[in-house]
Amino acid sequence: MKQCLLATALLAVVGTAQGHVHGVGQIDVVVDGPRLSLALDMPLDAAVGFERAPKNAGEKAALEKAAKTLNDGAALFAPTPAAGCALRSADVRLPFADGGKGGDDHADIEAVYVFECAAPAALKGFETSLFKHFRRLYRVEIQRIGPNDQGAGRLTPKTPSLAW
């Protein structure tokens, strides 16, 4: 657990160096024993087309739809089937979803998905459906740390899976 927390903290520090780029997300991947953690950071604009409080019913509906999609981590991420992974938690922070006004700065979605895997040795990657749901998202940068190695990668609509 301590190793997982340290790895997550290190990835978070490195991940913030990228900054806010429209259409580009970031996923920090930590494999710690049977646990697969995916920390997603992406511009709100990539999900709903704006980065401020919703101004009308259509924008409120877009925000609600994004929240529903993002909270279904099992539909967004598919770890290697042979690993027998099941979603244990999804913690999604969607700006303005609670009716708050916020500032005029760039707004980011932050979400952490934790999977528990029955056969962690069989875990060799994951596939995502993020690009199918969020058409304004065109790239996701990946940083990964596991028990035996670390690495980086890039997901796109044409290559929505990561293998290690």
- Per-residue model confidence (pLDDT) at position 37: 98
| Mean pLDDT confidence for 137-160 | 96
Q: CA 30, CA 37: separation in Å to the nearest integer? A: 5
pLDDT tens figures, 17-38: 456 666 899 999 999 999 999 9
Q: Residue holding tokens 């279904």?
A: 72
Q: pTM for this one?
A: 0.85
Supply φ then ψ for residue 102, to 5 degrees. 65, -175
**pLDDT tens column, 69-112:** 999 999 999 999 999 999 999 999 999 877 666 555 679 999 99
pLDDT at 14: 42
Integer Cα distance of 133 and 96 in angstroms: 19
